Structure 1
Amino acid sequence: MQTRGLLHEELSLAERALPLVVVAFDQHAPQQSPDTVNGMAVAGGLIPAVIFLIVMLIMAGYPLTEAKFKDIMKSIEANRSLRHE
């Protein structure tokens, strides 16, 4: 039985449903209120954009160069070879 798949599906459903609960989405309403529509726009656009900008600022400060990347990869390969001996 693949419990990982089921857990992933449940988490994925919760991630999609939570913003709808927060903005008071009513699936049976013929039309959503303006507050709900605005909340959905913020949840679907503004929040991910802000998170993206924060991540970009963090990444801009990370000193990863080609030489540093090669050093990291050499270290990973050395650790792997030690584990397989």
Structure 2
Amino acid sequence: MKMEFDTLEDFLSKGTYLQNGDYVYKHDKQNYPLQKEIDANELYVITSADRHHLKALSFTGVVKEIDLEKAEGFWWVLKLPEPVRKQIGLQ
């Protein structure tokens, strides 16, 4: 199974929503975030979601509220596959 980030625009066009345990990342570049470039300050795990209004926690402990419909900059989305969600108790 391969897990990759989607651009925010691609994700929003699918008409789906993020759930607890999914990830969002704000990159400083328009191109795909390479592993060596990922900044833990800008990588967030979703802790609460109401449609595209999210509460999230960064890997450095920063709590943030994010509205994906109003987000500015280069945001990337990683939605966990359903089998993974079930294995870790998120479904």
Query: TM-score, normalized by length of structure 1?
Result: 0.22
Query: TM-score, normalized by length of structure 2?
Result: 0.21
Query: Whose strand fraction is larger, Structure 1's or Structure 2's?
Result: 2
Query: Whose helix fraction is larger, Structure 1's or Structure 2's?
Result: 1
Higher normalized contact order (CA 8 Å, seq sep 6+, divided by chain length):
2
